[in-house]
């Protein structure tokens, strides 16, 4: 039986490039594009089928910032498939981002320029909002909607004879100091994106502890800095036009400037080809690109501890109980 692969956020950017690359690697794979916007999803499917006319590509509507939508999508997946081999938890947002120009100038003149321009540490803040479920939007989209999705899909994921790989799209911007166990939704701060990505690193570690024995393996990747709708949303388009030559020159000093969605998907494609038992649960797999555009994957230890991961995981289970009870009461 051919591998079944589910990709969230497959309608654009890194998710769409990943689907293209997966079909090049394994043309017979059964791809399910889980997208919020079905018009965009259909357009992506058409592009994939133009290059691979015999490919098995299906679409699934899901808005990961809505629990109702996630529950509906999970039951649809259970009707369509008996087992999922790979789940790429890739959909993500960074809404209303503000770039701190003063910090950018100060950083460029400092010794920490490469670190700052690779992680955006101290450069970016976001304005978050609250969803109809009463949760912080960035938290629900980037983390909790996906968490509920995999919890609902457990029967299709946990099968010791046939492993399943979960692959979270994390970020270089994931930062321990932006995350707080007592405000894990990041309702008080201005770095909801950093916090949600650090949260995905923690969840991945906890999932491995709880589910490896049942054949479920979780990993995190960082695609590097990729020019997609998400990054273009940070600055007005004329700024990007001005910055573009400098951004390409960044490759002289930073290997994380992967820039194209194709390059950004390198770590995801690499993980697709690995035996999950051979992976390190405490490592993040980074897509990197040389000056000459050659892509490679760099494993780096994450700044996470297993105790925090476990406490956070228990908090998510508690929140899951609350929101499902609230939803059932309506
Ligand atoms: N670009 C970069 O430099 C980096 C990106 N990342 C991460 O990579 C992932 C992909 O982002 P990228 O390709 O850059 O950006 P894009 O904006 O191009 O892609 C994001 C995808 O997520 C989907 N999405 C957003 N919100 C929802 C939702 N509520 N429900 C379902 N799908 C949703 C989008 O759907 P729609 O098409 O409908 O908007 C889109 O398909 C994200 O998790 C991002 O955080 C990590 C590090 C660096
Ligand atoms: C390079 C130029 C001289 C100036 C570019 C300034 C900023 C627009 C970029 C500097 C660091 C970048 C960055 C991201 C977006 C664009 C910058 C802020 C991300 C936050 C994009 C999404 C991610 O997940 C991170 C890994 C990126 C980190 C670096």
Q: DSSP string covering 145-203, please?
A: HHHHHHHHTHHHH--TTS-EEEEEE--TT--GGG--GGGTT-SSSS-HHHHHHHHHHHH
pLDDT in tens, 131-152: 999 999 999 999 999 999 999 9
Residue with the smallest CA separation from ligand 1 atom 47 is 171
Give pLDDT, residue 45.
98
pLDDT in tens, 280-318: 999 999 999 999 999 999 999 999 999 999 999 999 999
pLDDT in tens, 17-56: 999 999 999 999 999 999 999 999 999 999 999 999 999 9
* Angstrom distance (rounded) from CA 199 to CA 217: 17
Give yes or no for residue 99 CB within 6 A of ligand 2: yes
Give pLDDT, residue 161.
82
Give yes or no for residue 283 CB within 6 A of ligand 2: no
Give pLDDT, residue 183.
98
Mean pLDDT along residues 222-249: 96
Mean pLDDT along residues 258-277: 97
Mean pLDDT along residues 163-191: 98
- 34-38, 103-107, 171-175: which has the minimum mean pLDDT? 103-107
* Angstrom distance (rounded) from CA 136 to CA 133: 9
Give pLDDT, residue 225.
98
Give yes or no for residue 225 CB within 6 A of ligand 2: yes
In 3D space, the residue among 117, 101, 86, 113 whose CA is nearest the CA of residue 22 turns out to be 86
Give yes or no for residue 234 CB within 6 A of ligand 2: yes
Q: Does the pLDDT of residue 160 top 80, yes or no?
A: no
Residues 6+ apart with CB under 8 A from 170: 197, 200, 201, 204, 220, 221, 222, 284
Give yes or no for residue 329 CB within 6 A of ligand 2: no
Residue extents of the structural domains in the chain = 4-329
Task: Find the farthest-apart pair of alpha carbons in the chain and give their distance in angstroms, rounded.
Answer: 57
Any residues with Cβ below 6 Å from ligand 1, and which? 8-9, 11-15, 36-37, 40, 62-65, 90-93, 141, 169, 171, 222-223, 225-226, 228-231
Site to substitute for ligand 1 among 8, 10, 13, most atoms within 8 A of C-beta: 13
The residues annotated with a catalytic role in the active site are 193
Residue 221 binned pLDDT confidence (cut-offs 50, 70, 90)? very high
Query: Would you say the ipTM is above 0.90?
Result: yes
Give pLDDT, residue 264.
98
Q: Does the pLDDT of residue 110 top 90, yes or no?
A: no
* Angstrom distance (rounded) from CA 72 to CA 5: 18
Quick check: pTM over 0.80? yes
Ligand 1: centre distance to CA 56 (Å): 23
Q: Does the pLDDT of residue 95 top 90, yes or no?
A: yes
Q: Which ligand is nearest to the CA of 149?
A: 1
Ligand 2: centre distance to CA 120 (Å): 5
Give pLDDT, residue 268.
98
In 3D space, the residue among 223, 168, 242, 238 whose CA is nearest the CA of residue 199 turns out to be 168
Q: Are 257 and 156 in contact (CB under 8 A)?
A: no
Residue 108 binned pLDDT confidence (cut-offs 50, 70, 90)? confident
Ligand 1: centre distance to CA 220 (Å): 15
Domain 4-329's class?
A: alpha beta
Give pLDDT, residue 50.
98
Strand order in the sheet with 164-169: 56-61, 30-35, 4-8, 86-89, 164-169, 216-222, 283-289, 295-301
Residue 1 binned pLDDT confidence (cut-offs 50, 70, 90)? confident
């Amino acid at each position: 039986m051919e591998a079944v692969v589910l990709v969230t956020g497959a309608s654009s950017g890194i998710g769409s490039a990943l689907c293209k690359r997966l079909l090049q690697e394994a043309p017979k794979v059964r791809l399910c594009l889980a997208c919020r916007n079905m018009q965009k999803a259909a357009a992506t499917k058409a592009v994939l089928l133009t290059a691979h006319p015999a490919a098995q590509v299906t679409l699934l509507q899901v808005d990961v910032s809505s629990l109702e939508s996630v529950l509906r999508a999970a039951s649809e997946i259970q009707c369509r498939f008996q087992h999922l081999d790979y789940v790429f938890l890739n959909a993500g947002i960074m809404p209303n981002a503000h770039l701190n120009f003063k910090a950018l100038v100060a950083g460029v003149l400092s010794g920490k320029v490469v670190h700052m321009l690779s992680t955006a540490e101290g450069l970016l803040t976001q304005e978050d909002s609250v969803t109809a479920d009463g949760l912080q939007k960035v938290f629900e989209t980037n983390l909790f909607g996906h968490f509920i999705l995999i919890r609902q899909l457990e029967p299709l994921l946990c099968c010791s004879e046939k492993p399943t790989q979960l692959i979270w799209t994390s970020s270089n911007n994931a930062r321990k100091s932006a995350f707080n166990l007592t405000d894990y939704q990041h309702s008080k701060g201005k770095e909801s994106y950093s916090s949600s990505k650090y949260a995905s690193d923690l969840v991945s570690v906890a999932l491995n502890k709880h589910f490896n024995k049942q054949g479920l393996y979780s990993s995190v990747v960082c695609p590097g800095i990729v020019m997609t709708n998400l990054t273009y949303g940070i600055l007005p388009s004329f700024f990007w036009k001005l910055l573009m030559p400098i951004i390409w020159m960044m490759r002289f000093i930073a290997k994380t400037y992967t820039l194209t969605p194709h390059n950004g998907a390198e770590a995801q494609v690499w993980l697709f080809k690995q035996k999950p038992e051979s992976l390190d649960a405490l490592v993040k797999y980074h897509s990197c690109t040389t000056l000459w555009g050659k892509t490679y994957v760099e494993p780096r230890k994450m700044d996470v501890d297993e105790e925090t991961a476990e406490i956070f995981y228990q908090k998510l289970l508690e929140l899951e109980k609350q929101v499902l009870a609230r939803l059932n009461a309506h």
